[in-house]
A and B are shown apart, each in its own frame.
Chain A
Amino acid sequence: MYKYILRRLIQMIPVLLGATFIIFAMVYALPGDPTIGLCGERPCPAAFVAEFRDKHGLNDPLHVRYLTYMGNLLQGDLGTNFRDIKVVDELAQRYPVTTKLAAMAILFETVIGIIAGVLAGIRKGKFIDNLVLVSTLFVISVPVFVIGVSLQYSFGLKWPIFPATVGSDATVYRLVLPAFVLGSASIAYAARLTRTNLVENLRADYLRTAIAKGMSRPRMLGVHALRNSLIPVVTFIGADFGGLLGGAIVTERIFNIQGVGGFLFTGIRNRDPVSVVGTVTILVLVFLVVNLLVDLLYGVLDPRISHD
């Protein structure tokens, strides 16, 4: 087990290096002069530009800059952006907001997705099954930003049950609508996955054994069928975490949430490579760690998977 974790962590190093380099290269290929706009309306004086470029190491070749950057990263320094804000500090403020948003989205996924999937699965072919199948298809097909803007309009403005925007005070209540929007497609996928697996497991031989053992239907479903059916769902929800982080950019923009996604988008808009690379690096790191945790969890849930 520990060997497995160690091996995975070692494998993670080249992946993290590669992924961050891809990001680094992509972002620093940004054309344009980063000093534009720093000196008001006029272009900056040549001396300022030279000093600026020197300070931020913009004259070094790409790989040197990358190595310097990774060196700093190891010491917990994500750099200072062109507006003299330390990226680490900014992220430290914004990460809790996005984490809360993503956690609530995952909660919705788990609770709504699994309940809907189970209801559909045990009533296969009945009304509730068709309802779940059709509504999840609908949610999957409509782009998340259309869902987001429509829900914001309906429940934020027309019938103001929830606040339309979140702003600087991201309470749980204010995040309900955005989290639901962020998780919507995944709720649908989780529900369909639960249903498919449940239907398959209900036909499994060991469930026939369960009946032959004289088990009651609730125990059969709740203990024997569900346990097996949820293994792939748990994996999906974990693996989906990366998608949620990407989707947060859209959701945070629609609902004006001061989270990582919003910071990233502003960074891109303002041609602020330091903020962008820093944010994405951390996102990728979180994604990789979560994936490792999911794989470990998989081994715990399914005894047939061995991590030795």
Chain B
Amino acid sequence: MTEASTIAVGAEAGAPTGGQADEGRSLASDAWRQLKRNPIFWVSVTLIVLFIVMAAVPQLFTNVDPNAAVLKQARERPNANAWFGRDIQGYDIYARTIYGARASILVGVLTTLVTVVIGVTMGVLAGYYGGWLDSLVSRITDMFFAIPLLLGGILFMSTFPNDENSRYLVVVGKVVLVMAVFGWPSIARLMRSSVLQVKPNDYVQAARALGASPWRIIRSHVMPNALAPVIVVSTINLGVFITVEATLSFLGIGLTPPAVSWGVAISDALVALRTTPHILLFPSLFLSLAVLAFIMLGDAVRDAFDPKSR
């Protein structure tokens, strides 16, 4: 998905407090105008596009094999041959940092998608239908919410550890699965409260009075007006998921070699922090920039949708 389409979705969403469809649309175009003027928005979008391209076609940036170790040159400082230097194993840090984008971006994007799908579904069920369904869904949400994301991740990943023969997608898939399992409750809670705000509005009541089916009302009236906060939080969460993946890798239970990832690279570099800090610097920098980009994008979109912040 390109950024433009993300924004388009966000733009159509409108704020949950928005009154009529008309108001929603003017609010949306207003938000888009606001976004276009915000330099932070463009900086974050540029960074994100860059990282996505890096994740998709790392060959564009380097033709060095990230798995080619030159042990003799291990811990070499940045030089003309290896721009970022070499790590403890003698890998080219630049190449590994570029190739490391894939795992982080993949984990971040996939986890976000899954949490949004589960969270929005649960939130709409609880918020729109109410009654016993609300109680049930809310309690289930609470159960998962009671287990902090990192804690759940650690438990799960140590129960189903990876080994060196695990396939790449399986490794990534597990991390995505566990973060999605413990990450969706916050989205569900947010969606529920924003549906509750939209539901009493006249246009929803009018649609009900006209006999529109619940599915139709949800799809064309509730969702577009309740989704904006979810989009904002999910964008920011994407950065959080990338960090959690790195933390799991740091603890030795997230992605494991041979998967190339920023988290793994950082974890490896910590051993040599005293003598060769440059090994830590570059993967940390890229990871932080990626997280930063998503947080800034989320902030910018929120500001654009929140007239109060202008």
Contact = CB atoms under 8 A, between A and B. Distances in A.
A pairs with B: yes
Interface of A: 11, 14-16, 18-19, 22-23, 26-27, 29-31, 137-138, 140-146, 149-150, 153, 157, 196, 199-200, 203, 242-243, 245-247, 249-250, 253, 264-265, 268-269, 276, 280, 283-284, 287-288
Interface string B244-263: 00110011000000000001
Given A268-B155, A268-B158, A247 B139 contact: no
B151 A141 contact: no
A140 B144 contact: no
A141 B291 contact: yes
A26 B144 CA distance: 13
Contacts of A249: 150-151, 154, 251
Contacts of B247: 143-145, 250
Contacts of B288: 138, 141-143, 146
Identify whether the interface residues of A are mostly helix, strand, loop, or mixed.
helix
B147 A19 contact: yes
Given A146-B280, A265-B154, 10 more contacts: A19-B143, A31-B159, A138-B292, A150-B273, A150-B280, A200-B308, A243-B150, A245-B148, A250-B247, A268-B158
A150 B284 CA distance: 11
A26 B146 contact: no
B289 A141 contact: yes
Task: Count chain A CB atoms within 10 A of each CB in B151, B160, B243, B247 and give the residue with the most.
Answer: B151
B117 to A, nearest CB: 20
Interface in B46-102: none
Contacts, number: 122
A141 B239 CA distance: 8
Interface string B159-182: 110000000000000000000000
11 contacts: A18-B143, A19-B143, A29-B159, A137-B292, A142-B284, A143-B287, A145-B266, A153-B273, A200-B308, A245-B148, A288-B146
Contacts of A276: 155
A6 B151 CA distance: 28
Task: Identify whether the interface residues of B are mostly helix, strand, loop, or mixed.
Answer: helix
B296 interface: yes
Given A200-B308, A253-B251, A141 B295 contact: yes
Interface residues of B, number: 39
Interface string B270-302: 100110000010001001110110011000000
B308 A23 contact: no
A280 to B, nearest CB: 7
Contacts of A15: 139, 142-143, 146
A278 to B, nearest CB: 13
B204 interface: no
A269 B263 CA distance: 20
Given A137-B295, A142-B288, A200-B308, A27 B159 contact: yes
Nearest to A139: B288
A123 B158 CA distance: 47
Nearest to A11: B139
B207 interface: no
A304 to B, nearest CB: 16
Interface string B114-157: 00000000000000000000000001101110111111001110
A89 B285 CA distance: 43
Contacts of A242: 146, 148
Contact of A14 (B139, B150, B266, B273): B139
B154 A268 contact: yes
B222 to A, nearest CB: 25
A249 B248 CA distance: 11
Contacts of A150: 273, 280
